[in-house]
């Protein structure tokens, strides 16, 4: 019996192209100016310090910190302080209505239906929790953050590590088999299943394998669960 659903974002609730073609380029374009303008603010200064610690240069000049962050964006690195900085930059973009968070219509409809049926909804994405909330708060369907009970990001662990899902199970406070994880990534689904969660593989494009390792769906309307 499914009591909670944890969903990925990219390729699952939202298009990969939105993140790749809209959010990432916007963050890269505005990173240097944002960091220079806000480097002493409480939300930014600790992140810059963390970047310096990660690269092993505690006294690195600001411009080198910016170069490291820019390189990480180009390399699509899932580094926590970078994700947090991107979230702050995207917040400004959403606020200025430079873009809206993309969510598939089928995802919106099914998430609302599940919530109305009493299922607790959570998000687990490599993007920062702040970035997750921003995306769902600024959509063409209005503020969808009211649907979710909680959010998880890489601070709880890598998405390909089963230990991360064990921590999520503990945080939710339910038995693992009562939790369903949705993703477009087989590696993530494998890790979630290893931790005892139920899984569903979103394959929005391309061929669906005849003998898939996980239940498959083209979109959220095709996901069937036991309640």
pLDDT 10s digits, 155-172: 899 999 999 999 999 999
Domain check: are 55 and 155 in the same one? Answer: no
Domain check: are 24 and 51 in the same one? Answer: yes
Q: The domain that contains 83 carries what CATH number?
A: 1.10.720.60
171-210 pLDDT, tens per residue?
999 999 999 999 999 999 999 999 999 999 999 999 999 8
Domain check: are 84 and 22 in the same one? Answer: yes
26 pLDDT band (50/70/90 cuts)? Answer: very high
Residue whose token pair is 């919530």:
115
Domain count, the chain: 2
| Lowest-confidence pick of 16-20, 42-46, 144-148, 161-165 | 16-20
Q: What is the DSSP letter of 22?
A: I
pLDDT at 49 over 90: yes
Domain check: are 140 and 173 in the same one? Answer: yes
Domain check: are 124 and 109 in the same one? Answer: yes
Q: Which of 34, 64, 95 is the last residue of a domain?
A: 95
189 occurs within a structural domain: yes
Q: Which of 48, 66, 95 is the last residue of a domain?
A: 95
User: What torsion do the CA atoms of 76, 77, 80, 85 make, to the nearest 10 degrees?
Assistant: -40
List Cβ neighbours of 56 (8 Å cut-off, separation of 6 or more).
Answer: none
Domain check: are 11 and 120 in the same one? Answer: yes
User: 123 φ, ψ to 5°?
Assistant: -120, 140
Domain check: are 77 and 175 in the same one? Answer: no
98-151 pLDDT, tens per residue?
999 999 999 999 999 999 999 999 999 988 888 899 999 999 999 999 999 999
227 occurs within a structural domain: no
Q: Which of 95, 130, 156 is the last residue of a domain?
A: 95
pLDDT at 56 over 90: yes
pLDDT at 226 over 80: no
Give how far the C-alpha of residue 108 lies from the chain's centroid of Cα atoms, to the nearest Å: 16
Specify the pairing of strand 179-183 against strand 198-202.
Answer: parallel
pLDDT at 227 over 70: no
Nearest alpha carbon to residue 169 among 189, 201, 195, 199:
195
Q: What percent of the chain has pLDDT over 70?
A: 100
For residue 139, give the 3-state DSSP assignment.
Answer: strand
Domain check: are 86 and 116 in the same one? Answer: no
Expressed as residue numbers, the domain containing 86 is 18-95
Residue whose token pair is 């505690």:
58
Q: What is the DSSP letter of 154?
A: G
Domain check: are 41 and 137 in the same one? Answer: no
| pTM for the model | 0.84
Domain check: are 31 and 88 in the same one? Answer: yes
Long-range contacts of 32-37 (CB under 8 A, 24+ apart): 32/66, 32/70, 34/85, 34/88, 34/89, 34/92, 35/62, 35/65, 35/66, 35/69, 35/85, 36/62, 36/66
Domain check: are 70 and 174 in the same one? Answer: no
For the chain, give the mean pLDDT: 95
Domain check: are 82 and 181 in the same one? Answer: no
For position 148, what pLDDT does the model report?
Answer: 98
- Residue 177 has, within 13 A of its CA and on its CB side, a CA count of 2
Q: Which helix (H) or strand (E) holds 62?
A: helix 62-74
């Amino acid at each position: 019996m499914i009591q909670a659903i944890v969903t990925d974002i990219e390729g699952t609730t939202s298009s990969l192209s939105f993140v790749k073609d809209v959010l990432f380029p916007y963050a890269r374009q505005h990173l240097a100016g944002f960091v220079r303008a806000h480097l002493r603010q409480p939300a930014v200064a600790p992140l810059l310090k963390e970047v310096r610690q990660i690269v092993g240069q505690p006294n690195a000049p600001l411009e080198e910190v910016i170069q490291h962050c820019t390189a990480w964006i180009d390399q699509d690195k899932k580094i926590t302080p970078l994700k947090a900085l991107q979230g702050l930059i995207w917040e400004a973009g959403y606020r200025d209505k430079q873009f809206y968070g993309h969510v598939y219509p089928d995802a919106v409809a099914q998430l609302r239906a599940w919530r109305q049926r009493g299922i607790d909804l959570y998000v687990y994405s490599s993007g920062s929790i702040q970035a997750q909330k921003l995306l769902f708060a600024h959509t063409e369907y209005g503020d969808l953050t009211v649907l979710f009970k909680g959010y998880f990001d890489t601070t709880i662990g890598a998405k390909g590590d089963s230990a991360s899902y064990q921590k999520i199970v503990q945080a939710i406070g339910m038995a693992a088999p009562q939790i369903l994880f949705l993703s477009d990534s087989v590696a993530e689904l494998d890790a979630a299943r290893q931790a005892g969660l139920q899984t569903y593989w979103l394959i929005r494009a391309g061929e669906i394998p005849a003998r898939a390792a996980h239940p498959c769906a083209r979109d959220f309307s095709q996901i069937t669960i036991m309640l």
